[in-house]
Amino acid sequence: MITVDNLSKSFGARMLFDGVSFSLGFRERAGLVGRNGHGKTTLLRIILGEEQADSGTVVIPRHYRLGHVSQNLSFNCASVIEEGCLGLPEAHREEKWQVEKILYGLGFTDADMVRRPEELSGGFQVRLNLAKTLVSAPNLLLLDEPTNYLDITSIRWLARFLIQWPSELLLITHDRGFMDGVITHTVGLHRGKARKIAGGTDKFYAQIIRDEEIYEKTRMNDERRRKEIEVFISRFRAKARLGSLVQSRVKLLEKQDRRDKLEKIKTLDFSFNEAPFPGKYVLTAQGITFSYGGQEPWLIRDFDLTIARGDRVCVIGRNGRGKSTMLRLLTGELTPAGGSVSPNPNTKPGYYAQTNMHVLRPTLSIEDEVLSANPSGDRQAARNICGAMLFEGDDALKKIAVLSGGEKSRVLLARILSTPANILFLDEPTNHLDMESCDALLAALDNFDGAVVMVTHNEMFLHALATRIVVFQGGNAVVHEGSYQNFLERIGWEEEEASPAARAGSPSQDSAPNKKEIRRLRSLVITRRSKALKPLETKISGLEKAIASQEEELAAVNRELIEASRQGLSARIQELSIRAHDLTARTESHYAELDEITGRHEDETRRFDEELAALGDA
């Protein structure tokens, strides 16, 4: 296990994080979450020793090995399989089958095994480095966006592989479904601090919302109480007979810490500019046949598709099978060798593809680039769209040439937002977005009244959006009506079941776990968990209500004190002062009790989650 202790890191005047502390225990698989630019990758680089923190330490036990995917795409061996074997520990260097199993799972074929690594595409070279890392069996595996270069079947294989990972894992990914399916804990970078909880991302963000609601409510109560005390001091400072009461309140103010109002965190918040569409069918494709050589073997053969207003068509399949080509044919960017694509005369498309970054002109500002996408729009509308895509104020005046790949992707999205459209063609739109931005995109697509055709490997998007599936499987593209879940239940991924990785990685029937017994044991753990946590949750709820009630009562007593002081009612002032002191003491006691019980609840939750994770690993 490792321990991160009080790490701080800044770049110039910009503080990334301060006082970050957490530890990873035995076999914990933690997801590292936080918005883009908040320091997730920097934190991983500090743990790896590739970057120095401003302060703090990372404690790593002796002989504890860290594994991460190298960004260096230079290779030493004549074949993919030989290069992969370099990742094996020295004592296991001859166990080629371990490398084959992982390479097959990541989408390599028998023919790929004997190819030179330099002949692979950039994406498959990254996969080869990932395979070398996985077979090296490190004590801690650090993965930063491992799904970016994987297709959907490889992502599903990697999720199953990581669930069985025998040591520790720290994972960064924008794919919330992938992360939640793998991790046992969530570590979040939020407002420059780190917090670790047992469970998935939903639980983490729910806890953050709850904590910030309590913080803000407490801050407002403190401010109200402070103003009431300041009014009392101001009104009665000159009255000698109330001097002791005034002084006690002055000392109370001096002791009281002032909570800062939480700064609003920027997040993507947008909607697509919808163009009216009076008809029913937006586009019809008939008998599309295509290959880049213009002859057999065809990449797409005799493909038909009719897209109606409101359709959500998701295009899925392994990389290199023709998904992006399909979008380029439907948008008219490519011409089919056979068949036709017929858009409705009223169709107004919006097209996003990372390969379209060449349309961005380096010398233009972000604002001018967005404005150029819709010349009929005005500059203020373009500036508003820039702000929605997190280019606020002077950031909108940055030149395209100085932007990162992720920022350029947001500019491409901004161009689509500025242009009225009634059908959206989106090719892997989530690759450079963080988890919160993916959620915002999903909400915007859900609210869009036009049609959507999207290539994605993100199964959360598929489950949430797809009403029809175009799947590249078995050598051709086929349309399946219905949801993604319906596709999985009726058809499923043939290539998953038939792949060498599935055969190599499948346990024998004798060694397979007894699923009925596991379900029984999980049910027992869930029952025990409910019995253990319910009393604590009831107590927490009761304490929160008691604190809120006491704070309201204390505010009322303070108002009565002011009125009694104004009227000079000494006996009443003394009575109310005693009551206020008693209420304050009880409230502080309840806060202390709430902290203690909340900690117990988190510890118990972690313990039961670990039990359930262990059963899931069986």
Give the separation between CA 614 and CA 198, rounded to whole angstroms: 14
Give the separation between CA 20 and CA 200, rounded to whole angstroms: 20
> Could you tell me which of 431, 475, 504 has the C-alpha nearest to residue 103?
504
Lowest mean pLDDT among 30-44, 240-254, 345-359: 240-254
| Rounded mean pLDDT, 380-405 | 86
What is residue 240's predicted lDDT score, i.e. its pLDDT? 65
Whether residues 161 and 214 fall in one domain:
no
pLDDT tens digits, 273-282: 899 998 899 9
Q: Could you tell me if residue 611 is inside a domain?
A: yes
Which carries the bigger pLDDT value, residue 93 or residue 47? Answer: 47
Q: Could you tell me if residue 500 is inside a domain?
A: yes
Whether residues 155 and 228 fall in one domain:
no
Q: Could you tell me if residue 340 is inside a domain?
A: no
Reported as a pLDDT band with limits 50, 70 and 90, residue 455 is very high
Which carries the bigger pLDDT value, residue 113 or residue 616? Answer: 113
Residue type for 123, please?
G
Reported as a pLDDT band with limits 50, 70 and 90, residue 188 is very high
Whether residues 38 and 172 fall in one domain:
yes
pLDDT tens digits, 216-230: 888 888 888 888 888
Whether residues 36 and 21 fall in one domain:
yes
Domain boundary among 505, 533, 548: 505
- Residue 334 burial (CB < 10 Å; 0-12/13-18/19+)? middle
Record the tokens describing residue 426, joined without a space. 């989106």
Q: Could you tell me if residue 596 is inside a domain?
A: yes
Lowest mean pLDDT among 41-55, 181-195, 231-245: 231-245
pTM of the model: 0.68
| Rounded mean pLDDT, 243-263 | 78
What is residue 449's predicted lDDT score, i.e. its pLDDT? 92
What is residue 585's predicted lDDT score, i.e. its pLDDT? 84
Whether residues 198 and 78 fall in one domain:
yes
Whether residues 497 and 355 fall in one domain:
yes
Give the separation between CA 98 and CA 493, rounded to whole angstroms: 23
> Could you tell me which of 211, 171, 166, 165 has the C-alpha nearest to residue 191?
211
Reported as a pLDDT band with limits 50, 70 and 90, residue 424 is very high
Q: Flag whether pLDDT at 133 surpasses 90.
A: yes
pLDDT tens digits, 530-572: 888 888 888 888 888 888 898 889 888 888 888 888 888 888 8
Q: Could you tell me if residue 337 is inside a domain?
A: no
Give the separation between CA 145 and CA 174, rounded to whole angstroms: 7
Record the tokens describing residue 74, joined without a space. 């230079």
Mean model confidence pLDDT for the chain? 86
Whether residues 70 and 137 fall in one domain:
yes
Give the separation between CA 491 and CA 543, rounded to whole angstroms: 51
Whether residues 244 and 314 fall in one domain:
no
What is residue 617's predicted lDDT score, i.e. its pLDDT? 47
Q: Could you tell me if residue 602 is inside a domain?
A: yes
Whether residues 64 and 104 fall in one domain:
yes
Give the separation between CA 466 and CA 588, rounded to whole angstroms: 51
Record the tokens describing residue 6, joined without a space. 């009080």
Which carries the bigger pLDDT value, residue 444 or residue 508? Answer: 444
Whether residues 491 and 418 fall in one domain:
yes
CATH code: domain of residue 86: 3.40.50.300
pLDDT tens digits, 396-420: 999 999 887 778 888 998 898 888 9
| Burial track 102-117 (b if 16+ CB lie within 10 A, e otherwise) | bbbbbbbeeebbebeb
Reported as a pLDDT band with limits 50, 70 and 90, residue 294 is confident
Q: Could you tell me if residue 41 is inside a domain?
A: yes
Task: Specify whether the CB–CB gap between 70 and 138 falls below 8 A.
Answer: no
Share of the chain above pLDDT 90, in %: 44
For strand 300-308 and strand 451-455, is the pairing parallel, antiparallel, or unpaired? unpaired
Which domain, by its residues, includes 142? 2-205
Whether residues 437 and 471 fall in one domain:
yes
Reported as a pLDDT band with limits 50, 70 and 90, residue 503 is very low
Give the separation between CA 324 and CA 143, rounded to whole angstroms: 26
Give the separation between CA 290 and CA 297, rounded to whole angstroms: 9
Q: Flag whether pLDDT at 330 surpasses 90.
A: yes
Number of Cα atoms under 13 Å in the Cβ half of residue 411: 31
What is residue 506's predicted lDDT score, i.e. its pLDDT? 41
Whether residues 257 and 384 fall in one domain:
no
Reported as a pLDDT band with limits 50, 70 and 90, residue 618 is very low
| Rounded mean pLDDT, 38-67 | 93
Q: Flag whether pLDDT at 474 surpasses 80.
A: no
Count of structural domains within the chain: 3
Domain boundary among 441, 472, 505: 505
- The CA-based angle 469-472-474, given to 5 degrees, is 125
What is residue 253's predicted lDDT score, i.e. its pLDDT? 80
Domain boundary among 475, 505, 535: 505
Q: Could you tell me if residue 335 is inside a domain?
A: no
